[in-house]
Amino acid sequence: MAADLSYQRILLKVSGEALMGAQGFGIDVAIVDRIVADIAAARALGAEISIVIGGGNIFRGVAVASKGGDRVTGDHMGMLATVINALALRTSLAKIGVESIVLSAIAMPEICESFSQRAALHHAAQGRVVIFAGGTGNPFFTTDTAAALRAAEMGAQALFKGTQVDGIYSADPKLHPDAERFSHLTHDEVLEKGLAVMDVAAVALARENHIPIVVFSIHQEGELARILSGSGHATIVSD
């Protein structure tokens, strides 16, 4: 069955904001369970999935810097938020019998294992969903960049970016109903047009490693499996 998939090994980037649902802050367990069910459905098709999770539902490091605080400290706080979200994903996966592992770019052995490429590839080979926490482990880099980096390290065939809408638009379609929706773009076009789907470093890293970026709605139930099966709605960014 896996032979029929568009991509066999993917890295899924989930924003922290996606986990809070209609709440203004924190984690909506029902939403996490629904996202995890979609991941399980995609795995059932034969896809190998690893995940990078953001932390914006709990804390954004740039918020500290914008108010005159230290950016490095703020980014470290944001990294800790991603660990909380990663543990929430692991908990929801365990509830439905899907084995997973959290690997953090910041060592915290009492809570989860530390990241290494060797460990990540080993756990993936054992059939586990690998959840990457702590961003890149460095300040000044977003979790989008962490997603592109981990996708390259895992040899992912595509980087899936779950967003609030069903692809890349020329402007925010919620504010501009006449915004143009793109079905296909190149990495260079995303950079040249200044399309704010991922930060510049993430798109450039994906381009350099020839990794397609698949942008889809994280809120559309079952969409991940549909896209892997060759249908669904997404914008594909490729060479």
Tens digits of pLDDT across the chain (239 residues): 455 899 999 999 999 999 998 888 999 999 999 999 999 999 999 999 999 999 999 997 777 777 888 999 999 999 999 999 999 999 999 999 999 999 999 999 999 999 999 999 999 999 999 999 999 999 999 999 999 999 999 999 999 999 989 999 999 998 999 999 999 999 999 999 999 889 999 999 999 999 999 999 999 999 999 999 999 999 999 99
Q: CA 145, 215, 189, 154 torsion: positive or negative?
A: positive
If one counts the domains in the chain, the total is 1
- Secondary structure letter of residue 112 according to DSSP: S
Beta carbons of 15 and 78 less than 8 angstroms apart:
no
Model pLDDT, residue 21: 87
Confidence (pTM): 0.94
Domain that holds residue 86: 2-238
Q: List 215's β-bridge partners, or say none.
A: 161, 235
> Any idea what the CATH number is for the domain that residue 174 is in?
3.40.1160.10
Beta carbons of 48 and 117 less than 8 angstroms apart:
no
